[in-house]
Amino acid sequence: MDKQPEDKQPEYTQTENVAEKPRKRGCAGHCLKFWWAYLIAVIVIVVIVVPVVILVGVPKIAQQKLDHAELILDSIVMTNARAQNFTMSINTEIKSDGKVKATIEPFEGVMYLEDLPEHKPFAKVHFPETTSAKSQIINITQFTMIDDLDAFTTFNTWLLHNETFRVTVEGDTKVHVKGIARAYGVTFKKTIDMPGLRMLDGTTVTNTTVNATAPKGQNNFFGTVRIPNYSKVAFELGNTSFHNYLLDKEIGTVYLDNLSLKPGNDNVYPMRATIDDLGYVTGLAVQKPYCDKLNGVLPFKLRGKSVINHGESLSYFADALASGNQTVQIDIRGTVKRSMGFTLGCTDE
Ligand SMILES: *[C@@H]1O[C@H](CO)[C@@H](O)[C@H](O)[C@H]1NC(C)=O
Ligand SMILES: *[C@@H]1O[C@H](CO)[C@@H](O)[C@H](O)[C@H]1NC(C)=O
Ligand SMILES: *[C@@H]1O[C@H](CO)[C@@H](O)[C@H](O)[C@H]1NC(C)=O
Ligand SMILES: *[C@@H]1O[C@H](CO)[C@@H](O)[C@H](O)[C@H]1NC(C)=O
Ligand SMILES: *[C@@H]1O[C@H](CO)[C@@H](O)[C@H](O)[C@H]1NC(C)=O
Ligand SMILES: *[C@@H]1O[C@H](CO)[C@@H](O)[C@H](O)[C@H]1NC(C)=O
Ligand SMILES: *[C@@H]1O[C@H](CO)[C@@H](O)[C@H](O)[C@H]1NC(C)=O
Ligand SMILES: *[C@@H]1O[C@H](CO)[C@@H](O)[C@H](O)[C@H]1NC(C)=O
Ligand SMILES: CC(=O)N[C@H]1CO[C@H](CO)[C@@H](O)[C@@H]1O
How far apart are the C-alpha atoms of 59 and 77, rounded to whole Å? Answer: 35
- CA-nearest residue for atom 14, ligand 9, is 264
Q: Do residues 230 and 119 both lie within one domain?
A: no
Residues 243 and 320 grouped into a single domain = yes
Same domain, yes or no: 209 and 287: yes
- From 175, 196, 217, the end of a domain falls on 196
DSSP class of 264: B
Q: Based on the fold, state whether residues 192 and 227 are members of the same structural domain.
A: no
Residues 191 and 71 placed together within one structural domain of the fold: yes
Could you tell me the residue range of the domain that residue 190 belongs to? 66-196
Q: Say if 221 falls within a structural domain.
A: yes
Q: Ligand 7 centroid to 97 CA: how many Å? A: 48
Distance between CA atoms of 268 and 35, rounded to whole angstroms? Answer: 84
CA distance 46 to 209: 84
User: Which residue, 162, 196, 230, sits at the end of a domain?
Assistant: 196
Q: Which residues of the chain have pLDDT under 50?
A: 1-21
* Ligand 7 atom having least distance to the Cα of 239: 1
Q: Is residue 29 part of a domain?
A: no
- Structural domains counted in the chain: 2
Q: Residue 310 C-alpha to ligand 5 middle, in angstroms?
A: 28
Question: Is there a domain that residue 249 lies in?
Answer: yes
pLDDT digits (tens, 9 = 90+) for 174-205: 999 888 888 889 999 999 999 999 999 999 99
103 pocket-lining for ligand 4 (C-beta < 6 Å): no
Ligand 5 — pocket residues by CB below 6 A? Answer: 211, 213-215, 218
CATH number for the domain harbouring residue 169: 2.60.40
Ligand 1: centre distance to CA 57 (Å) = 46
The answer to whether residues 205 and 188 belong to one domain is: no
- The reply to whether 105 falls in a domain is yes
Helix (H, G, I), strand (E, B) or coil at 61: helix
Whether 198 is in the pocket of ligand 3, judged by its Cβ within 6 Å, is: no
Q: Which ligand is nearest to the CA of 263?
A: 9
End-to-end CA distance of the chain: 107
Angle, helices 149-161 vs 315-322, to 10°: value is 40
Would you say how long the chain is, in residues?
349
Question: Which residues lie with the beta carbon below 6 Å from any ligand 9 atom?
Answer: 228-230, 232, 263-265
Q: Are 125 and 141 in contact (CB under 8 A)?
A: no
Give the distance (Å) from ligand 4 centre to CA of residue 233.
Answer: 27
Tell which residue, 104, 72, 75, has the closest CA to residue 88.
75
- Residue 315 Cβ inside 6 Å of ligand 8? The answer reads no
Q: Let me know whether 141 and 180 are in one domain.
A: yes
| Residue nearest to ligand 7 atom 4, measured at CA | 258
pLDDT digit string (tens) for 205-257? 999 999 999 999 999 999 999 999 899 999 999 999 999 999 999 999 999 99
Candidates 75, 137, 138, 232: which one to mutate for ligand 2, based on the most atoms within 8 Å of Cβ?
Answer: 137
168 and 272 in a single domain? The answer is: no
Does some domain include residue 48? no
Least Cα distance to 89 among 142, 49, 45, 47 occurs for 142
Same domain as 326, residue 288: yes
Q: How far is the CA of 239 from the centre of ligand 8 (A)?
A: 6
One-letter amino acid for residue 12 of the chain: Y
By DSSP bridging, strand 297-309 and strand 312-313 are antiparallel
Same domain, 208 and 274: yes
- Residues with C-beta less than 6 Å from any ligand 1 atom: 82-85, 312
> pTM of the entire structure?
0.84
> Cβ distance 208 to 338 under 8 Å?
yes
In angstroms, the CA 93 to CA 138 distance is 6
Look at residues 196, 223, 254 and tell me which one is the last residue of a structural domain: 196
Res 15: pLDDT: 40
Q: Is residue 210, in this structure, part of any structural domain at all?
A: yes
